Amino acid sequence: MRVRDDTKINTIFEATTALTSEVGLNRLTMSSIAQRAKMACGTLYIYFDSKERLLNELYMHLFVGSTLSILPSIGHLPLKKQLSIIWSKVLWFRVTNSSEVIFMHQFRYSVYASEETHKLDDQFVGFIKNLLGQGKEELIIKNIDSDLIIPLFYGYANNLARQMAMDEVEITDEIIDQTFHLCWDAIKS
């Protein structure tokens, strides 16, 4: 029997990511994905119930791999260090995986994004909120509603990465340092 091949899911994910960054989510069709992944159109439906599920699972896969997975391991570090690591991690991922970021960006606010997917984001935001809460208690960072701070990190990271991807700028440790300093200066008390 032809055994179910889990690397196929990765092939599909890669094809989807690449295509989205090339032609955009609007022109992304199931048959173009299949063609790019060198498989039949129907094969996609063996691994994913629908286009919507495929995109959502891809998003979750990328989000977990790029962001969520680092959170638990850094809980013991000092606040600024934690933020700095997250910033670095997120930025590295975003800049070195520009196709993935384009996909995530386009998907994020599309009609395809499900409840379930939005909750992932909330999980991440919740973690950061906690961190900021601590910082405020320790009087390290400004006493401002976290909902006004998080969009700075989030929006900045997204936009910076997107811009760098488009301009084909190489990311360096210096850039990460400089940009993190901007953020830190913004919020430190």
Sites of contact with DNA (CB under 7 A) = 1-5, 8, 27-31, 39-43, 45-47, 50-52
Both tokens of 58, joined, read: 């891809």
Residues 133 to 162 in contact with its own copies, rule: CB under 8 A: 142, 144-145, 147-152, 154-160, 162
Q: Which CB sits closer to DNA, 54 or 171?
A: 54
Provide the 3-class DSSP secondary structure of residue 188: strand
Task: Decide which of DNA, its own copies, none touches 39; Cβ closer than 5 to 8 Å per partner kind.
Answer: DNA
Q: At what angle do helices 146-167 and 115-137 cross, to 10 degrees?
A: 120
Q: With contact defined as beta carbons under 8 Å apart, do 39 and 97 qualify? A: no
Please tell me whether residue 3 binds its own copies under the rule CB under 8 A. no
Please tell me whether residue 101 binds its own copies under the rule CB under 8 A. no
CB of 129 to its own copies, least distance (A): 12
Please tell me whether residue 183 binds its own copies under the rule CB under 8 A. yes
Instruction: By CB under 8 A, name the one of 83, 86, 132, 187 that touches its own copies.
Output: 187
Q: What is the DSSP letter of 107?
A: H
Both tokens of 15, joined, read: 């094809």
170 burial class (0-12, 13-18, 19+ CB within 10 angstroms)? Answer: exposed
Other residues' Cβ atoms within 10 Å of the Cβ of residue 27: 10
Q: With contact defined as beta carbons under 8 Å apart, do 63 and 104 qualify? A: yes
Task: Decide which of its own copies, DNA, none touches 183; Cβ closer than 5 to 8 Å per partner kind.
Answer: its own copies
Residues within the interface to its own copies (CB under 8 A): 23-27, 102, 105-106, 109-112, 142, 144-145, 147-152, 154-160, 162-163, 167, 169, 175, 178-179, 182-183, 185-188
